[in-house]
Each structure stands twice: as C-alpha cells, then as structure tokens.
Structure 1
Amino acid sequence: MYTFSNRLKIGSLILMALGLFGMGIGFVSVPSSIEEAKEMVAAHDDGHGGGHETAATEQAHAESGHAEAGHASEHDEHVYHQLRNRPWSAMYVAAFFFFMIALGVLAFYAVQRASQAGWSPLLFRVMEGITAYLVPGGIIIFVILILSVLHMNHMFVWMDSEVVAHDELLQGKAGYLNPTFFLIRAAFFLGGWILYREVSRKLSLAQDASNDNASFKKNFRWSAGFLVFYLVTESMMSWDWIMSVDPHWFSTLFGWYVFASMFVSGITVIAMITIYLKSRGYLPDVNDSHIHDLAKFMFGISIFWTYLWFGQFMLIWYANIPEEVTYFVQRIDQYRLPFFGMIAMNFIFPLLLLMNSDYKRVNWFVVMTGIVVLLGHYLDVFIMIMPATVGEQWSIGIPEIGAVLFFGGAFIFWVFRALTKAPLQPSRNPFIEESRQFHY
C-alpha cells in the first residue's frame, strides 16, 4: 500500500498556499473603474518606452478626439473588461489544464479497458489515482462557469445580453449559446465522466476481491460504452468551455485538437507518476518496457497533435477567410513568443528527444521531456483562451504563476491521496501476469 509521505503532502499544501496568495494579488490588483484601467495601461506603456508623444502628435490626437470619442469610450471599456478578466482567465486556464490531464487519463484508461490490453494492468491504479482529480477539478470548473453566468467576469461575451442585442451572429447562436443550456450541458458532461470513473474504479476493486471475472467483464462493457459518450461530450465541451470565448470563430477540427492536447498531457503524467512511484519501490513489477510504451504514446500523440494543429492552421490560413483567419492573426501578432514557443515544445522537442527508442527507457530522460511537454500544453491552453479574454493585456506574471501553483498543488495532493486508498497493483485482473511478464 502506498503511503503519502509527509514531505510530499506538505509540499503540495505549500504550493496551494503560495498559489492562493498569488491569485489573491491578481484579483485585488484589477482596476475598479475605466479611468483606473486607462491609468494602468498608460503606466504600463510608459514603463515600456511607450506613451511619449510629440507635440504635433498630441495636437493631431486632440483635433480628432471629438470625432472618435464614442469609439474611444468603447475601446476603454473593452480594455477595462480585459484587465478585470486577467485573474479570472489565469485561474480558468490553470483549472482547465489540470482538469484536462485527469480527463485525458480517463480516456486512456477506458481505451486500455475496452481493448483488453495486456501490457497496462500494472498501471491501472496509477490511472485511477489521477482520475480521482476529476471530482474536485470538475467542481471547480463548474463553479467558475456559474460565476461567469452570474457576470462575475466577462470571459464569455455571449453571456452579456447587451452584447447579444447588438450582434446578429450571436443572436443566431442563442439557441445553443445561452446560459441555462450551457450549464445543463456542463453538468451533463461532468456527471457522465465522473459516473464512469466511479463505477469503473468500484468494479476494478471488486475484481480483486472476487473469485470470477464478472467485474472485469462489466468494466469492459462500461468502458466501451463510455468511449462513445466521451468522444461526443469531449467535443461539445471544447466548443462550450474554450471555443465559445471566441464566439465569432469556429473550427470543425477543434474538438479533436483539444482531445489530442489532453490525451498526450494525461499520458505524460501517467509516465511521470509511475516513474516516481517505481523509484520509491512501490511498483516493483513495472519495468523499462512499460515506461518505453508510455513514452511511445507521448511521442506518437505529440505527432498527432502537430498534425491536427497544422491541419487546422494551414486550411484556415490558406483559405484566408476574414472570419476565420483573424483567430491566428491575433495570436501571431500579440502572442508571438508563446504561440511559436508552444509549437516547439509540443512538437520539435518530443520529436527530437523521443524518436530514439533507447531514450524512451531512460527514466530521467522521459521525465525531463514530460516536463517540457506539460509546459507546452499549458501554453496551448493559454493561447486558446487568453487572446479572447484579455487580448493585448496579457503577461505571465503573479496571477498566472499563482494559479498554476495552486491547482498544481491541489492536483498533487488529491492524486497522491487517492493512491493511498488501494494497493497499487491489481491482483486478480485476467491480464495481470501478462503485464508482469511484459518485455521486448
């Protein structure tokens, strides 16, 4: 039985405390009025060499000021909302990132169950421990969505009735994008994912205590059915929770794109936690071949993610339809470093490091690659959400780092706590001996 060490427990709690402090700073530092927002932007511009105009420029601005007063007022209000959105967006990005890791692991777990894979049963308890985070992580996401509906933030502009009243496109989408239906769908998604996780976990433990394979067969049927449910609801979730922050833009490939990101992130965390537990002597039957297979999935799904990213980018960029291409124009113009940085971290880095078969068996090498991959996919989520919610007012500062620390600490605490609830190796899975003898 795994024992949650005091050092790890205290470390995760410290991360949560530091993260909570950082997020708190982010929330108390937001502007309380449009005038204060203008002052903050001006101070930021001055600090970066901006805001210094010549007398001729100031005169030209003064002459055109009355004609553009209405536009300036709308712009100032927009900037005000962006600055107020920043701590909310930082929290939402981090909350979704760690939640999607657990959801990606759940999908991988269901695939292993439904395919009756013989190599992976030794890793089932690790996967079940990670998916335990679906409950607290899902509740946090749902609370953020409720607060968004209650207009505590302005991340989802289609929730603002005044915006919808002046936007024909949003009016046309009101049958789907309306707050009540939005929350009903979110509750349905979360309820289905958590239900499968709890039922599968219960059947997994029951199989160890039984004298036949009835629970194993039930788990197979539940997993096969869940994968159908998951493929539909995951796509709808990506439209609702991420794509709708840009309600004028859409991509038919977006659900698969988000799936690839969460799938590779989940597999990466499985590999890293497995390596940690094995180093502590808790998974003696796990060998380098298991790590090699996980690293192969990390490599393969990274290539799959790149294929989807490029397919989406290339088709939109080549067609050059204004309603579609503006999505990438904004991200390349305003988020150039994280935009191209995350492509390098999610494609070039794992391609070069994990292509060699021998390196996939080197534990520290897999962990190092995994850290970069996780950072890259955090930036992926960051790029998906931040441009629509905070625009040019973005940075990676105290609110963003604080949110990552808080949810990272919560993730570590909840996952490793769940790992203490049952033996780390199943005893009566029909394929457990095949998994123990897995070598190549």
Structure 2
Amino acid sequence: MEYKISNRLKIGAIVLIILGLFGVGYGFVDSHGYTEENITERLAEEHDAHGGGHVTESHGDEHAEEAHVESVAHAEEGHGDEAHGAEAEGHKMSHEEHVLHQIHNRPYSALYVAAFFFFMIALGVLAFYAIQYAAQAGWSPVLFRVMEGITSYVLPGGLIVLAIAFVADKHIFIWMDPDVVAHDALIQGKSGWLNKTGFMIRGLIFLGGWSLYRYFSRKFSIAQDNADDNRNFKKNFRISAAFLVFYIYTESMMSWDWIMSVDPHWFSTLFGWYVFASMFVSGITVIAMVTIYLKSKGLLEFVNDSHIHDLAKFMFGISIFWTYLWFSQFMLIWYSNIPEEVTYFVTRIEDYRLPFFGMVAMNFVFPLLLLMNSDYKRINWFVIMAGIVILCGHYVDIFNMIMPATVGDRWFIGIPEIGSIMLFAGIFLFIVFTALGKAPLLVKRNPFIKESEHFHY
C-alpha cells in the first residue's frame, strides 16, 4: 500500500508557503514603517482611530513599567514645575521608544510562535510513537507510518525555531540584550544558563538526540518489514525506552529555554509538564486528522472506527490533563499572590483577556463537550471538527506564552500572524506528506500487526 503526494497537495502546500512569505514580509515592512521620527504622529493616528484609546507600555518589560510609575509620580507632584515637566517629557520619549520596540518585535514573535507550534506537533507525535513501542501496544501499529511521516518534521522544524531565535535575538529574548543584562541583577544571576551560546548548544543537543532516535527508529521499522525475525522490533523497543528518559529531561529544559525564558524574571516548576501536555494533545490530534484524510483517499484500509475512537479518547483525555496542569499552575500562583509570580497572569488577564480565556474554552470546554460522548469519537467529521478547535486553542496558548513578553498590549492576530501560520503549515504539509510517500503505509512483520489490523471493541 503505497502513497504518493498528490500534485494538488503539493501545489496547495507551495501556495501556502508563498502566501505566508508575503504575509511575513508585509509584517516586517509594516513594523519598520514605525520609526523614531514618525512614532509620535503614528501613535496619535492610532489613538484617534481607536476613539481615543490609551496605548500602554508592555507589562513584560518590568523596568519600563517601574520607570513609568516613577515618572508619572514625579509629573503629578510637579504641576507647573519646569524641572518636573522636563522629567515628564523624558518619560514620554522613553515610552514611545518602548512602544516602537514592541512594534518591531511583533513580526519576529509571530514567526516564532507559528514555527514553535508546528515543531511541537511533530515532537509530540515522536513522544507518542516512542510510548507505543515502549509499551508494546497492540492497537496502534497500523498507525506507525503516519506517525513516522509526521515526525519527519522534527529536525527541520527544530532548526527553523533555533534559526529564528538566533536572528531575532533580543527582539524575543530580552536576556540576549547586553544593555538589559548590565542593569538587571536577577538576569545577571541567571547568565550562566541564559546566554546565547549555551542556548544554541543546548538546542542542538536536544534536536540531535530527538532526531537520532527518529532516524534509527524509522530505520529499524522499515528493516522489520523484510526481516525474518523480531530483532529490529526489539531494537526499536529498547531505543524507545531509552529515548523516553532522554525526552523527559530535554523537553523540560527546552520549554525553559525556548518559551519560559522570554519572561526571565518568572518561572514555574510545572512549566515543562504544561508544555508537554500541549504538544502531546496537538500531536495526537494531527495523527487523527492525517489518518482520517488518508483513509478518505482509500488508503489505510486496516484503520477502522476503533482506531479513530482510541485516538479521539487520547484527544479527550490529554485535553483534561492539560486543563488540570493549567489550573494547577494558575490557581496556585494566583492564590498565593506573590508579586513576582502573579504578574505573569495579571499581564495576560489585563491585556490578553480574550485569547487567555478563549484558549481555556477551546482547549477544555470544547473537547469536553464534543468528545465526551463515545459515539461521537467514531464519527470522522466530528473528530476533525474537534481537532481544528484543539489545534487553534493550542496555537493561541503558545501565542499567550510569547506575545505578552515581547509585544505587550500591541498584539493583534493579523497579517503577520496569519502569514506565519500559512508559511509553516505549507512547509509542514510538504515535508510530512513527502515522507509518507517514501515507505508503505502499513508496517509488516511487526509482532502486533495482526492484533492491530483486527482491533475492535
């Protein structure tokens, strides 16, 4: 049973990439249309266009916020005093420079959010694939080639994320700005870990380990097709068990580096698990959607409603697990009300209320309502609909993690964000479906393949 990427799918992926490039390019051109010379005029135009709305500085920049409070206090105390008037004018200029910095950060952040989102889907699938081998699951071998196709994006997707982080530099990670570090004792204390060289070296180590596992697992999987014994399967079992230990550690460190460090003053001990839950449910959702698509094309004839039902159960169950972690992190920090911790959520509730609470609805309420009924888990179009909601919700989740620290309240899901999604969706689809065409879609000689083919309940 062979699959070859259709010309229509190729063209669609290429069109997405081209449209995405235009959107990303527009984002950079538009953001750099704001300069120090015209920022006051353009902000005044925005002020009038929004009915006199107030433009505030980013809560993500704690030093700017403190400077703002101090300057306003001085200005209020010195009505009519020329010295205080000068101070107020100095604040005005520093605030405008800060807004300019946020605007310039936006296209980099939009690219980074979309790049990480599609990368984490592939990494989540890789973890799920390894779990199936390590657990010697009997229901899932008919889905192995779908998983292997999706995980082909791990290496290119991860390299893209690292490349964006390297180029964006201080536009995303404020600790990469030497001027900020020089005046921030807390970041200085973390500089042994938070430095650009260490960031890149760790990133390459993470990617190297994940990609090596994917390479050898795929190699042993294909070799098993023509083997007359189970040696390749046993090798896959052993390396999958070892990989999961490596993955548990490196996924947590990756989440600290690639996401949590955009807010270098804040940390959560649950963060690694939280990001894992997001990538895990997103990856399983994409497995289900790709499987349903291939089945609709007359392929994967051994995949039945019970397989889709099991995938939908994982989508439902991991959505509940994600909600548990989200609430545990939010409730404990909010209830303790420690200023340096709670500011993370205060910022998001004040400036990102719609995406913050909308993300909770999409990632918890919708999966709960759509997938609780067992019969609905067997209806393909229903699983696809639930999957679209889940994927949109987890994109917004990553958006909420990155944007408050980089663009503050200057956020908007517009052309740069949509263009970035289209760009990486096109790259993802092209790489994944090309990989799917390089081997038969059904594994052979797997000791559990007959059990998987006849899986029913």
Q: What's the TM-score once normalised by structure 2's chain length?
A: 0.92
> Could you give the per-residue CA deviations for residues 214-265 of structure 1, whole angstroms, max 9, x where no partner exists?
1100001110000000010000000001000000000000000000000000
Pick the aligned partner of 1:198 from 206, 212, 215.
215
The answer to whether the Cα contact below 8 Å between 1:42 and 1:51 also exists between their aligned partners in 2 is no
Structure-1 residue corresponding to 2:420 = 403
Task: Give the aligned residue type for 1:40.
Answer: R
Task: Give the aligned residue type for 2:443.
Answer: P
- Whether 1:147 aligns to 2:167 is yes
Pairing 1:407-422 to 2, within 5 Å after superposition: 407-422=424-439
The answer to whether the Cα contact below 8 Å between 1:251 and 1:312 also exists between their aligned partners in 2 is yes
- Whether 1:112 aligns to 2:132 is yes
Offset of residue 155 of structure 1: 1.1
Task: Give the aligned residue type for 1:204.
Answer: S
- Whether 1:360 aligns to 2:388 is no
Label 1:419 to 1:51 Cα distance change in 2 as closer, same or farther (>3 A).
closer
Q: Which runs of no fewer than 5 residues in structure 2 stay unpaired? A: 55-75
> Could you give the per-residue CA deviations for residues 121-164 of structure 1, whole angstroms, max 9, x where no partner exists?
00000000000011221121121122134xxx521110111101
Structure-2 residue corresponding to 1:245 = 262
The answer to whether the Cα contact below 8 Å between 1:37 and 1:83 also exists between their aligned partners in 2 is no
Offset of residue 37 of structure 1: 3.3
**Whole-Å separation in 1 of the counterparts to 2:351 and 2:399:** 13
Structure-2 residue corresponding to 1:13 = 14
SS at match of 2:38: helix
Pick the aligned partner of 1:73 from 93, 105, 114.
93
SS at match of 2:87: coil
**Whole-Å separation in 1 of the counterparts to 2:81 and 2:384:** 58
Offset of residue 41 of structure 1: 2.7
Pick the aligned partner of 2:106 from 86, 96, 116.
86
Structure-2 residue corresponding to 1:180 = 197
Offset of residue 61 of structure 1: 10
Offset of residue 318 of structure 1: 0.2
The answer to whether the Cα contact below 8 Å between 2:313 and 2:377 also exists between their aligned partners in 1 is yes
SS at match of 1:66: helix
Pairing 1:141-290 to 2, within 5 Å after superposition: 141-149=161-169, 153-290=170-307
For the aligned residue pairs, the C-alpha RMSD in angstroms reads: 1.6
> Could you give the per-residue CA deviations for residues 162-194 of structure 1, whole angstroms, max 9, x where no partner exists?
101101101111111011111110111111111
Pick the aligned partner of 1:309 from 317, 326, 344.
326
Offset of residue 102 of structure 1: 0.2
SS at match of 2:409: helix
Pick the aligned partner of 1:134 from 151, 154, 161.
154
Q: Between Structure 1 and Structure 2, how many residues are aligned?
A: 432
**Whole-Å separation in 1 of the counterparts to 2:407 and 2:16:** 26
The answer to whether the Cα contact below 8 Å between 1:346 and 1:377 also exists between their aligned partners in 2 is yes
Structure-1 residue corresponding to 2:28 = 27
The answer to whether the Cα contact below 8 Å between 1:264 and 1:298 also exists between their aligned partners in 2 is yes
> Could you give the per-residue CA deviations for residues 329-383 of structure 1, whole angstroms, max 9, x where no partner exists?
0100001111110100000000011000000000000000000000000000000
Task: Give the aligned residue type for 1:122.
Answer: V
Structure-2 residue corresponding to 1:331 = 348
SS at match of 1:29: helix
Pairing 1:366-381 to 2, within 5 Å after superposition: 366-381=383-398
SS at match of 1:85: helix
The answer to whether the Cα contact below 8 Å between 2:217 and 2:236 also exists between their aligned partners in 1 is yes
Task: Give the aligned residue type for 1:90.
Answer: A
**Whole-Å separation in 2 of the counterparts to 1:291 and 1:397:** 34
Task: Give the aligned residue type for 2:40.
Answer: K
Structure-1 residue corresponding to 2:315 = 298
SS at match of 1:68: helix
Structure-2 residue corresponding to 1:98 = 118
The answer to whether the Cα contact below 8 Å between 1:118 and 1:434 also exists between their aligned partners in 2 is yes
**Whole-Å separation in 1 of the counterparts to 2:222 and 2:216:** 10
Offset of residue 75 of structure 1: 2.1
Task: Give the aligned residue type for 1:50.
Answer: G
**Whole-Å separation in 2 of the counterparts to 1:37 and 1:428:** 66
**Whole-Å separation in 1 of the counterparts to 2:137 and 2:94:** 57
Name the % identity.
70
- Whether 1:36 aligns to 2:38 is yes
SS at match of 1:232: helix
The answer to whether the Cα contact below 8 Å between 1:16 and 1:405 also exists between their aligned partners in 2 is yes
**Whole-Å separation in 2 of the counterparts to 1:406 and 1:184:** 27
